[in-house]
Structure 1
Amino acid sequence: MQLIRRKKFNFYSAKTLQNLIIVNKYALFDDVNDYLNITSEDRDKLYSLINDTVTIEFRMRNAYGTGTDSGAVMGIRGSSSNEFLIWLGNYTSNVSSEWLTVSCSNTSSSSNTSALMCARPSYITHTTWVHIAIVMSPNYWKIYIDGVEATYANQTTFNGLKQGTFKDFGILGATAIGQRSNDTGWYGGGLSDFRIWNTERTLPEINAFRTKSITTPTTGLIMNLLLNGDGNDNSGNSINATPTNGVAFPYKTKTAASFDGVNDYIPIDNVTSLLNTTNSQTIEFWIRPKASSVRVIAGFKNANNIYLLITFADWTSAIQGESISIRSDDIVVGVTSTTVSQMVNVWSHAAIVLKNNEWLFYINGVLQTTGNSNNDLTRGNLSSNVPNLNTGVIGTRLPNFANHFIGDIHDFRIWNTERTQAQIVDNMNITITTPQENLVVNYTLDNTFDDLSGNNFHTVGMNGISFIERD
């Protein structure tokens, strides 16, 4: 299972909380062979935008280093064997603690090195995110760690190589994030919000976005990799970095299927053979309705057009407010969402337990009181209401394909068992990606219409259903 959206509460002192960096989306490098590659075309574009002063900043969490390991956060090859590095680890024996190095060197001679080394503060651990900002000008380099200028352990200049920008040592050659650009010195850990500015950023400017992402083009920002699922540049210059050899994005942005209310739907008739059972069943899903009119979330029918519908809205005047209800032919049993002040334009989790003589409704894990119950309605599982069920659909009504749903849906699951309230609560914030006992169908709708239950009841989206980012 993969956790997608569960709030975790930690307690920090006011001083610690002020400096705390929380990163939920990032690129993870394995310290073996993965990196982000910048193509020659994009390198040339980057070079053309660089000024005499440059600021590079990023957030990092070194997962593999121990104070003796080394890894390159960024590596650039220049002309005449010059190399620029942002380097993490133990570079020389005279630095005993963890630290970050910015260096330029001539690889044809080990003595031709200009390096700036800084010790990392003692409170930084391998499980802690830190923000790094490196200001590079023709006359000096400065490194800020979490908004504080670092104490430098060593600062040297050799044989005319001077502190400056990486534009100073020639047209850019191989350029990579996560290695030295020559398939060595692999970085191990997380990176997010890797940005390059063609100006010197002041400390107030650095601190203004030290814990924030920049998502729109900004003056002076020439490269902006959010690293929240890919290596795309958000600066407006399209200087992209290509994930190579399996760079992972552990918290890649999740999506949901978005229904337009006109003719979108998802057929699920290929799974109905497993739903003709005497077992109790649980149907659960996340929805964000975009309209308060009567709309169908899912529908099931048989060859005789006997049907059962799960709907959003107010089917009858006896149900007050926004609600989720079940309708079997023209008989309705519903539930008023008394514990949810608003469902339109709000994500809500719904779970409906279908068992013999009883239907249970849960909204966001809370058991609801049903309204407008009709004693003639057969309360049981799907097959007891729709004998020989043979067709199912998400997002519209059967049998006449009407009342199309307007809004978004994700993690639509059907279980051939009664799920307890505790099970519903424990799993409603989790995207399940592996087979589970009694899980018949599992459409995460995370950029795919595949069934992840293990039964392989894959489907398709009809009439142009789009995937949108969950927020």
Structure 2
Amino acid sequence: MKRRTIGLDDKPDKHTVLLLHFDGNVKDETGINSGLTRQNITYSTDSKFGQSVKFGYSNSYIKIPYKKELLPISGQDMTVDFWVKPNLNNDGMVCLYGNPSSGSYVYGVQLGLNKDSIIFYSGTDNNGLFLFSPFPQKVWTHIALVLMNNVFYFYMNGVLKRTFNSNIPNYVNDLLLGIWRDYSYSLNGCIDEYRISNIARWTSNFTPPTKPY
């Protein structure tokens, strides 16, 4: 599917602080973020819209330089949403949103999508939830993580699956996409339309987007 051309009146809205289309590059369409780096990724026509980014399972990731607007802040609403298509039915294969600590213990906001469970962390291993529900394999699924009033809301294909109260740590490091927080596991699959917003975009069930942002 050919992506629409972004014109003067078709830019990301004012609440979008990061937008990656992955149409042959890792350019942030908002113009806010620069210096993004990539490791062992390719671009694929197996996508939701246009092209997607394909992670290769081993040491494959995108690193986005630190900006406080991209990470959870206590009292600040935000949304992270994207399309994802895992390619293998394999435990521990996906981590989509991680943040490494500068200390001896690595931690972050991260989402593991395994063959038999969905694992979500906001901090250390002791600060998360386990949802024992299989994640769809080899199909495109829309994911939205909404933070509102220090409560996380996890949506899959527009349906609320779980809420989770969390104390938000003070994140100060770069953002990792497509790899586990300690670089041990990479996603085997594709991501499209990765967006971070500084508002809670959804507060109830919704219809997933039918076109690029």
Q: Fold-level match, TM-score > 0.5?
A: yes
Shift in Å, 1:336? 4.4
Q: Which amino acid in 2 is paired with 1:282?
A: T
Distance 1:410 1:329, change over 3 A: same
1:296 equivalent to 2:95? Answer yes
Shift in Å, 1:274? 1.9
Structure 1 residues 87-124: Cα deviation after superposition (integer angstroms, max 9, x where no partner) = xxxxxxxxxxxxxxxxxxxxxxxxxxxxxxxxxxxxxx
> What is the TM-score when the length of structure 2 is the normalising length?
0.64
SS of 1:345's partner is coil
Residue correspondence of structure 1 range 155-174 to structure 2 within 5 A = none
Structure 2 equivalent of residue 312 of structure 1? 113
| Bigger Rg over Cα | 1
1:326 equivalent to 2:121? Answer yes
Counterpart Cα distance in 2 of 1:353 and 1:369: 11
Distance 1:419 1:336, change over 3 A: farther
Structure 1 equivalent of residue 12 of structure 2? none
1:351 aligns with one of 144, 160, 163? 144
Structure 2 equivalent of residue 180 of structure 1? none
Counterpart Cα distance in 2 of 1:364 and 1:419: 14
Q: Is the 8 A contact 1:285 1:413 kept in 2?
A: yes
Residue correspondence of structure 1 range 440-451 to structure 2 within 5 A = none
Structure 1 residues 47-98: Cα deviation after superposition (integer angstroms, max 9, x where no partner) = xxxxxxxxxxxxxxxxxxxxxxxxxxxxxxxxxxxxxxxxxxxxxxxxxxxx
Counterpart Cα distance in 1 of 2:198 and 2:132: 25
1:389 aligns with one of 172, 177, 187? 172
Q: Percent identity?
A: 24
Structure 2: unaligned runs, 5 residues or longer: 3-48
Structure 1 residues 374-407: Cα deviation after superposition (integer angstroms, max 9, x where no partner) = xxxx615xxx22x142211101122x21111111
Structure 1 residues 240-267: Cα deviation after superposition (integer angstroms, max 9, x where no partner) = xxxxxxxxxxxxx711111110111000
Structure 2 equivalent of residue 284 of structure 1? 81
Shift in Å, 1:286? 0.6
SS of 1:410's partner is strand
SS of 2:69's partner is helix
Structure 1 equivalent of residue 201 of structure 2? 419
Counterpart Cα distance in 2 of 1:357 and 1:262: 33
* Runs of 4+ residues over 3 Å off in structure 1: 275-278, 334-337, 424-427
Distance 1:324 1:413, change over 3 A: farther
Residue correspondence of structure 1 range 4-403 to structure 2 within 5 A = 254-270=50-66, 272-275=67-70, 277=73, 278-291=75-88, 292-294=90-92, 295-304=94-103, 305-308=105-108, 309-313=110-114, 321-323=116-118, 325-326=120-121, 328-331=123-126, 332-337=128-133, 343-369=136-162, 379-380=166-167, 384-385=168-169, 387-398=170-181, 400-403=182-185
Structure 2 equivalent of residue 86 of structure 1? none
Q: Which amino acid in 1 is paired with 2:69?
A: L
Structure 1 residues 203-239: Cα deviation after superposition (integer angstroms, max 9, x where no partner) = xxxxxxxxxxxxxxxxxxxxxxxxxxxxxxxxxxxxx
Aligned length: 160
Shift in Å, 1:310? 1.8
Q: Is the 8 A contact 1:257 1:409 kept in 2?
A: yes
| Alignment RMSD | 2.7
> What is the TM-score when the length of structure 1 is the normalising length?
0.31
Q: Which amino acid in 2 is paired with 1:307?
A: Y
Q: Which amino acid in 2 is paired with 1:284?
A: D
Distance 1:406 1:302, change over 3 A: same
